[in-house]
Every structure is written in C-alpha cells, then in structure tokens.
Structure 1
Amino acid sequence: MGNVLTQLGDISVEHFLAEYWQQKPLLIRQALPGFESPISPDELAGLSLEDEVESRIILENHQGAPWQLRKGPFDEQTYQQLPDTNWTLLVQALDLFVPELKHLRQQFQFLPDWRLDDIMASFAVDGGSVGPHYDHYDVFLLQGYGKRHWQVGQTCNEHSQRLDGTPLNILQEFQCLDSYVLEPGDILYLPPRVAHWGIAQGDCITYSVGFRAPSQAQLLDEHFQSLAEGFSEFQRYEDPKIKQREHSHELLPEDIARVRHILEEHLNNADSNIIHWLGRLLSETKYSDDGEAHDRFSEMPTQLLKADDARCLFFRENDQQTLLFINGEQRECPLALAIEICESDWIDSEHAITQFNNAEDGIEFVQWLLCSGAYFEDEDSLPEE
C-alpha cells in the first residue's frame, strides 16, 4: 500500500475535503483494492483475552434482553457460551497491537494526524451489529473480511431519543436513507452525528478509522484549568473606591464589569498559553504507557525507534525554530528536525544532535526523547561492550 491516499475511489482527496468531510457520507468502492485483513477472527478474539486490550462484546436479543454489553478482558469460556448469531466483538486501538495496521493509519495522513484517534476492529458473526446509533466523530469504515450490510440514516442531534434499558446508545428511531453491502477494500465515510447501522452477513471484520473531536465544553474546561495554574494566591478580585450602595445584597453592573475585565484581560493575553496548552493536550496518548522510560543512558544509542502509540505534532514559530509536542510534553527544536521526528519511524541520534548549535543541547534533547516514552533504544544499534 502507498503511504498516503491521494484518491478516494473516483474522486481526489481535495474534492473529498471540499465536498464530503464533515458534511455528508460517501461510499468508496475499492478504496484499498486487494486489501486483506491483517488479523483473523480467532486472533482478534485472542487479543480480547489480554488485560491491556480494551474490548467489548455486544449481544442482541440474548436471554430476553434486547441489547447487552459485556466488557473485557474475556476468557475462552466466554466465547464457548456465546450464541451462533447476533453478537459482535469490538477491540479498540488495534493499531497498537497489529503492526500492519500502522500502514493503514498512514493512508489517512491527508488529514491532521492529531485528529486520528485509533483503529477499532469489529468482528461480528451472522446478524451481529451494535444497533442503530451515531457517533460524535468522523469515521472511515473499512471492510476487511467478509461482508457487512450498512444502512445510513438521518442526521441526529441532542434531541434524538435513545433506547431505554440498555447502556448502549441505541436510537429509538432510525430512518434508512441509503443501504450498501461492503466487501473487502470498500470504505464508507460517515461524518459526525449521521445515524448508521451495520449488520454482518456471515462472519466479518470491519475496521473503524476514527477521528477524535474534543467537545467544546472539554476544551474550555481544560483551557481555563491550564490558565488557572499560572495564577498566584495574591491575584485577587479588587474593588477600590467603591461607593456605598442602597442595598448591600444587590449585585451591581459595576461588580460584573470588574469580573468581566479580569476574564477579558487574561483571555486577551492567552495566545501563547493556548499554543503550549493545546499542543500538550493534543499530543497526549490515549492509553498510559506501562513501559520503562529512560532517565539516563551511559552509552549514546545510534538509533531511536518511535513507539507505536507515540503522538507527535509541532507548531512553527518561524522558518527555523518550532515547538515540538510529544506525548503531552513540549520542547523547542529546529524545524527540520521536528518534521523528521513527526514523519519518521526512527531517528538517528547523532544526526539529531548536529541539528543544534550546542552539542550539549542536542544530547539533552535526545535524552528528552527517550524520557518522553515516545522513543526507545534500538538494541541492534547499541555499542558493543
């Protein structure tokens, strides 16, 4: 497969972004011709037995319940007790455990990389589905194995009613507007809040390439928290030279004006804070890394390999320098090096050091890359003792 998609079926990426992205669904027949699922149903079920893997099983009309949700990790007995039809296994962040799916991520880098959340796999037996629902994010549904019948429905909002009696977000009403059967290599793109319902025709695997969209409430909440961290206890509300008021309990317009002035003053001066805060926020990893971060190294490793769950992005300060964000941390570095770090799977440490005017700064930067948890030493490149 190529590194980045330039065509989505018969239309160009530019056409897709202008006419479809976040606007309307698109069926793309043979978007990835010859695509073969890199993982089998049995291998996917095997991953769901692992503690570090986030997995769910959804059953429809089982033991008198319309929809049931079970959360992993599971055991082999779980699968032995499942019915022959109408259930689905969902495995999140599969791209962290199946190296071949890393190439699939790269196909979608015509979109901002920080928007790409993860690749989820959905294995379903005949009739299996997760019900009619909608998501708050964009998703590309790639058929990897077998066939799935997709129905695309109405655009939903906060007033769309959900089914009672289940923890799943199943829609009470679903209006089918389009219907497709997807085969391996086909992709169905869905913008946020478009209702959809996929039902397996025999055993099948669908890969969901999801693009995260933080809520505005989350962004405001976390940004104000970030601003507040820089305040001292000596910065307080002040009201010198106030006049005696007729009613002590009355909140006056001038009281509100003072508070508004405080808020506006700090928001107007928050541009640089936004860059640092947003870069750290968007580069945070979804799952915590339990691996060892390197605090120091006695011998300089020649090569550093990027971890599969590393999140990197940069903000261009000028033609030479940039702010590099990795896994929620930030560092200044030369622009060319930041681009190389974000777009490459490995970094040559000696080359990275030479990008700095001072060798000590370069060595400290390489050390920071290791400590970030986004990189680890390539054991094959370590000096012989």
Structure 2
Amino acid sequence: LYIPPGFPHEGYSLENSLNYSVGFRAPSGRELISGFADYVLQRELGGQRYGDPDVPLRDQPADIVPAELDKLRAMMLDLINQPANFNAWFGEFITQSRHELDVAPPEPPYQPDEIYDALKQGDKLSRLGGLRVLRIGEEVFVNGEKIDSPHRPALNALANHMVLDEALFADALEDPSFLATLAALVNSGYWYFAD
C-alpha cells in the first residue's frame, strides 16, 4: 500500500497481523516556523524590539528600503541562530508524539527504590513502542521533554536502547535524583518492566 505525502492515514488491523511502515514524515516549513514561534512565545524569548534610530529622512515616507528589511530579518534570524534555544526547541518539537501513545501507567506508581531494587534483581525496563526518544549533542529528549541529568551514560542508554538493564545505567542508579527521573518516566508509562 502506497500512501502519498500529504495524505493522512490511520489504519487498524482487524486481526493479529504484522506490518512494516517505511518512510519518514518530515515536517513542513510551516510546521517548523509555527513550532519555533510557539517555543519563543512560551519562553518569552526575543523580547528585543526593533530599533533604527539612524533612519534617514526620505522623499517618500512610505518606502521601506532593503537595508531596513535586512536588519529586521537579521533580528529574527538571531533567535534561530542561537544553538542552545534552537536545539532545545527541535528536541521538544521532533519528539512530541503525533499520535496518541498506548501508555499504561503502573498502578500503583513505582517508588524510586522499587525501580532500583527491580533493576538490581535483574529485571529489565522496556521502552513503549512509538515513544520518540532522541539525543541532540549531550541532551536527551523524551516525548517533547528534555531529560536533565549529569549522568551521560544513563541518558545515552535511554536514547539508544529499547531494553534497559542495570548495567546500562552504571552509577546513575546510586543517584536519588536520577532514580526520581527514571521513576517519573516509568510512571508515565514510557518504560515498563516486562513480565
């Protein structure tokens, strides 16, 4: 079955089946600009006002000269050209799920020490299918959120492995703040202990 670009679809199988989907849904320029604008507004970035105190008098006061447009464009592009903001926006934007995830948060929620004990006893955490996780530089993003932690090997494990065991977390499991972050991810239904 070929589905051309620009034609949304959502198929459901009527019985057990196996399917493969090949392709990449690239965002349009409109989606990218809109998403970045939302990011800028939410974080109150770009508060600098356009100013040009040296505007010369001109014969036609309604005319906007190319140099003025260039200065305005440069001011707008300056926001995009800040790597920290651009990378953070892109990580959040691209990992947000476009479809509803089949999350099943555990009931009752796990406490960090329960996750610690389970991993130490050899249990493994599996990533929810369809969950978007990526790494940009040293930062890891999960479903539209940046995961803050100084434990780079553990963050790399979250980004690069579908199944996680104690060894992949290294010393991060000894840090209560990392365990709290991991518990929040598990309690969101993004990772789960396979039975």
Shift of 1:327: 1.5
User: Residues 353 and 359 of structure 1 are in contact (CA less than 8 Å); yes or no, is this contact kept in structure 2?
Assistant: no
User: Residues 311 and 326 of structure 1 are in contact (CA less than 8 Å); yes or no, is this contact kept in structure 2?
Assistant: yes
Distance 1:208 1:265 in 2: 38
Shift of 1:291: 3.6
Q: Percent identity?
A: 21
Query: Which string of whole-angstrom CA distances, capped at 9 and with x for unpartnered residues, describes residues 96-130 of structure 1?
Result: x96x85xxxxxxxxxxxxxxxxxxx5xxxxxxxxx
**Paired position in structure 1 for 2:114:** 300
Query: Which string of whole-angstrom CA distances, capped at 9 and with x for unpartnered residues, describes residues 251-310 of structure 1?
Result: 233432331231243233x22222222222222223223645469534523243321222
Residue 108 of structure 2 is aligned to residue 288 of structure 1: no
Residue 173 of structure 2 is aligned to residue 364 of structure 1: no
Q: Please list every run of 5 or more consecutive structure 2 residues that lacks an aligned counterpart in the other structure.
A: 1-8
**Paired position in structure 1 for 2:64:** 251
Distance 1:297 1:368 in 2: 9
Shift of 1:219: 2.8
Distance 1:234 1:283 in 2: 27
Q: Could you say which structure has the greater relative contact order, defined with CA pairs below 8 angstroms and 6 or more residues apart?
A: 2
SS at match of 1:210: coil
**Paired position in structure 2 for 1:327:** 143
Deviating beyond 4 angstroms after TM superposition, the runs of 4 or more aligned structure 1 residues are 292-296
Once the two structures are overlaid, the 10-residue window that deviates more, 286-295 or 363-372, is 286-295
Match of 2:159 among 337, 342, 347: 342
User: Residues 153 and 170 of structure 2 are in contact (CA less than 8 Å); yes or no, is this contact kept in structure 1?
Assistant: no
The structure with the greater share of residues assigned to strand is 1
Q: Please list every run of 5 or more consecutive structure 1 residues that lacks an aligned counterpart in the other structure.
A: 1-52, 56-90, 102-120, 122-206, 317-321, 381-385
Which runs of structure 2 are paired with 1:53-132 in the superposition (5 Å)? Answer: 54-55=10-11, 91=12, 101=18, 121=19
Distance 2:161 2:56 in 1: 64
Match of 1:310 among 131, 148, 161: 131
Query: Which string of whole-angstrom CA distances, capped at 9 and with x for unpartnered residues, describes residues 53-90 of structure 1?
Result: 933xxxxxxxxxxxxxxxxxxxxxxxxxxxxxxxxxxx
User: Residues 185 and 191 of structure 2 are in contact (CA less than 8 Å); yes or no, is this contact kept in structure 1?
Assistant: yes
TM-score under structure 2 length normalisation: 0.67
Residue 48 of structure 2 is aligned to residue 235 of structure 1: yes
SS at match of 1:226: helix
The alignment's C-alpha RMSD in Å is 3.7
- Rate the CA distance shift 1:280–1:349 in 2: closer, same or farther, 3 A: farther
User: Residues 154 and 168 of structure 2 are in contact (CA less than 8 Å); yes or no, is this contact kept in structure 1?
Assistant: no
Rg comparison, structure with higher value: 1
User: Residues 292 and 373 of structure 1 are in contact (CA less than 8 Å); yes or no, is this contact kept in structure 2?
Assistant: yes
TM-score under structure 1 length normalisation: 0.38
SS at match of 1:355: helix
SS at match of 2:22: strand
